[in-house]
């Protein structure tokens, strides 16, 4: 045992005591759930007879809410509207959430996990909820295309940096 209370291993490396504080970085999904789900078929039963191909509008939003120092709620908000020439066939609004635990991460890593990695993990489950909801509403299941959350995250960071550089640039000539 060394002077600071850690155990010296056979290799001469110091290992923390079994009851010591865990200082290694960690992040993961604690739980996931449907927070809100709304399915509407405003023009039923007529909508089931329409023959023209629908226009599907899909909107996504990612938000985060801090629960405590180590836990945040990540919400994937998905809004879908299926419209035909005759009107709206169906509307699905889903808020799918995950409780995410993060410990001993720097701010940049926490932000990236919150807005890129956690949504990537949650999306397949939200996709299944949407598919089942559309099917249960009487329509063929709707399979949302996969989303590159990391690519979108990087694009948004670059756009914010470009906007920030424009604000800091001197105006006019000196």
HSE-up (13 A, CA, CB side) for residue 93: 4
CA distance 156 to 114: 14
Could you tell me the two tokens for 84? Answer: 């035909």
CA distance 67 to 30: 13
Q: Does the pLDDT at position 4 exceed 80?
A: no
Judged by average pLDDT, the poorest of 9-23, 34-48, 72-86, 154-168 is 9-23
Confidence bin at 161 (pLDDT 50/70/90) = confident
Q: Does the pLDDT at position 140 exceed 80?
A: yes
CA distance 111 to 125: 22
Average pLDDT of the segment spanning 90-103: 96
Angle 149-168/118-136 helices, nearest 10 degrees? 120
Average pLDDT of the segment spanning 20-42: 89
Per-residue pLDDT of 35-82, as tens digits, reads: 999 999 999 999 999 999 999 999 999 999 999 989 999 999 999 999
pLDDT at res. 7: 47
Q: For the domain with range 22-139, which CATH number is right: 3.10.420.10, 2.30.180.10, 3.30.110.30, 3.40.50.620? A: 3.10.420.10
pLDDT at res. 23: 75
Averaged pLDDT score across all residues of the chain: 86
pLDDT at res. 173: 42
Burial label for 80, CB within 10 Å (0-12, 13-18, 19+), is buried
Q: Is 5 helix (H, G, I), strand (E, B) or coil?
A: coil
Element (DSSP H or E) covering residue 155: helix 149-168
Cα 52-128-144 angle, rounded to 5 deg: 45
Domain coordinates of the chain in residue numbers? 22-139
| More confidently predicted of 64 and 3 | 64
> DSSP states of 26-89 as a string?
EEEEEEEEEEEEEEE-TTTTGGGG--SPPEEEEEEEEEEEE-SSSEEEEEEEEEEEEEETTEEE
Average pLDDT of the segment spanning 79-95: 97
Q: Is 1 helix (H, G, I), strand (E, B) or coil?
A: coil
Average pLDDT of the segment spanning 160-166: 79
pLDDT at res. 16: 54
């Amino acid at each position: 045992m060394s002077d600071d209370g850690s155990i010296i291993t056979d290799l001469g490396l110091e290992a923390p005591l079994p009851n010591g504080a865990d200082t290694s970085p960690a992040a993961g999904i604690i739980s996931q759930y449907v927070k809100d789900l709304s399915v509407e078929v405003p023009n039923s039963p007529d909508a089931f007879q329409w023959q023209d191909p629908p226009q599907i509008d899909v909107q996504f939003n990612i938000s985060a809410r801090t629960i405590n120092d180590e836990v945040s709620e990540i919400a994937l908000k998905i809004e879908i509207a299926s419209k035909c020439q005759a009107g709206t066939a169906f509307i699905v609004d889903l808020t799918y959430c995950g409780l995410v635990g993060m410990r001993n991460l720097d701010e940049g890593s926490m932000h990236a996990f919150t807005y890129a990695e956690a949504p990537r993990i949650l999306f397949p489950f939200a996709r299944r909820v949407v598919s089942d909801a559309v099917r249960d509403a009487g329509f063929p299941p709707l399979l949302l295309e996969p989303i590159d959350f990391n690519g979108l995250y990087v694009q948004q960071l670059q756009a914010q940096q470009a906007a920030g550089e424009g604000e800091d640039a001197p105006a006019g000539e000196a």
